Amino acid sequence: MSSNPSHSPAPLPAGRLRLVILALSLGAFAIGTTEFASMGLLPQIADSLEVSISQAGMPISLYALGVVVGAPLVTIAAVRTPRARLLVLLIGLIGAGNLLSALAPDFTVLAAARFLAGLPHGAYFGVASLVAARLSPVGRRARSVSLVMLGLTIATMLGVPASTALGQSIGWRSAYVIVVVIAAASTVAVWRLVPEPEGTGAAASIRGELRALRRAQVWFGLGIGSIGFGGMFAVYSYIGEIVPGVMGLGERAVPLALFVFGIGMTAGNLLAGRLADRSIYGTIFLGLAGMMLSLAVFALVAHQAIAGMVLLLAIAVTSQLMGPSLQLFLLDASPDAPSLAAALHHSALNIGNSLGAALGAAVLAAGWGLVAPAWTGVVLAVLGLGIAGWSYLVHRRQEARDEPVTASVEVSASS
């Protein structure tokens, strides 16, 4: 798939573009923090609201459901809203959802608040990626998208541990208050710094955006994200059990393992931006193949603590090669209706999150051992690689059909 956009407005000067990306990545940092902070605060939430641990986990699932549902619905509902203005509204809604979470008087309100907080998630990343790509030079689009996504990976490395520690010290509500403050700062930054790209917003239509769902490559991209990306989550979801139970380290080593994983995700995200500007398909294949091998080797050597940590780092790096590359893949797969396709990317990733975690739970419940989730991840990565290969074959056939048409047009023009 070509990395050239179908619409290439004049890019921003480099200094201004850096400020725009910083503003957009700050919103991504807020989202990444709120998405994962709840996981480390389940005991505090359960005690405070007088529910069981399993019930306290329900808001996490409801947040993910909000992302899956909200990505297409919010994008379609706001199809005619100028993109820069929409970003301000979306990050403002994320702040409002977290404020309601912090003030929730009971468990029912908290559950509803988490669902509402998830609704703008996918639309924000989709629109932010579109804006970053449209405002960037042709050869730097993937790099700009990866820098926006960098806010999400840095959140897993810094924002989540910090908010979790604060929540454990002074109360779980403080974790959501932190997100409100970050979201407020991001709202101001986006409002002041992000311009409206050409060719977006008012000219769009609901029917036009829905055309994205008629394109095979959009569905291929969503399949790769939903299934292939699930391989990483099959292991990531159970690090808390794998680190002490397989790697032989104490529970206090779990935050270290999560930190190592966050470093790998950040490094992989940055690497993906550079590689995808050269070849989107190549980066996707490299990410899936690398994740498949890393998961397999991890399953074999995880009982050795140092080797296990190194392989966790490798899994994180290779999995993140797919993030920015798949986002750009979907933007290019539907160039005249990019907003919905880009937003659905995050629906797909959350489906992958749920799928990987659910299959990991199934093999653990079957008594296959704590390394079984890693082998499950291998299978998901192989399936994702198969979908990517099928997509590439379809793409090449389409190119072959288009070449004679292009040649005849050129001949007619020259005559």
Could you tell me the two tokens for 214?
């008629």
At residue 403 the predicted structure's pLDDT band, cuts being 50, 70 and 90, is low
Could you tell me the two tokens for 328?
């750009």
- The whole-number pLDDT of residue 200 equals 54
Instruction: State how far the alpha carbon of 224 is from the alpha carbons of 164, 238, 345, in Å.
Output: 31, 22, 10
At residue 8 the predicted structure's pLDDT band, cuts being 50, 70 and 90, is very low
Spatial separation of the C-alpha atoms in residues 256 and 106, rounded to whole Å: 33
Spatial separation of the C-alpha atoms in residues 122 and 131, rounded to whole Å: 14
Spatial separation of the C-alpha atoms in residues 63 and 34, rounded to whole Å: 9
Q: Regarding predicted confidence, which is higher, 248 or 52?
A: 248
Residue 331, pLDDT > 70, answer: yes
Q: Which residue has the tokens 């468990």?
A: 107
DSSP 8-state class, residue 226: I
Looking only at Cα atoms, what is the longest distance across the chain?
80
At residue 406 the predicted structure's pLDDT band, cuts being 50, 70 and 90, is very low
Q: Which residue has the tokens 């908010």?
A: 163
Q: Is 96 helix (H, G, I), strand (E, B) or coil?
A: helix
Residue 1, pLDDT > 50, answer: yes
Average pLDDT, the chain: 86
Residue 287, pLDDT > 60, answer: yes
At 176-187, the pLDDT tens digits run: 999 999 999 999
Residue 117, pLDDT > 70, answer: yes
Residue 413, pLDDT > 60, answer: no
Query: Which amino acid is residue 328, in one-letter code?
Result: L
Q: What is the average pLDDT across 65-87?
A: 89
Could you tell me the two tokens for 25?
């990545």
**Is 72 within 8 Å of 16 (Cβ atoms)?**
no
Instruction: Report which of 388, 371, 252 is spatially closest to residue 312, judged by C-alpha positions.
Output: 371
* Helix (H), strand (E) at residue 266: helix 254-276
Spatial separation of the C-alpha atoms in residues 166 and 211, rounded to whole Å: 45
At 154-166, the pLDDT tens digits run: 888 888 878 878 8
Residue 411, pLDDT > 50, answer: no
At 191-244, the pLDDT tens digits run: 999 998 865 554 566 777 777 788 889 999 999 999 998 999 889 878 878 988
**Is 146 within 8 Å of 132 (Cβ atoms)?**
no
Could you tell me the two tokens for 329?
């893949």
At residue 409 the predicted structure's pLDDT band, cuts being 50, 70 and 90, is very low
Instruction: Report which of 78, 91, 185, 197 is spatially closest to residue 144, judged by C-alpha positions.
Output: 197
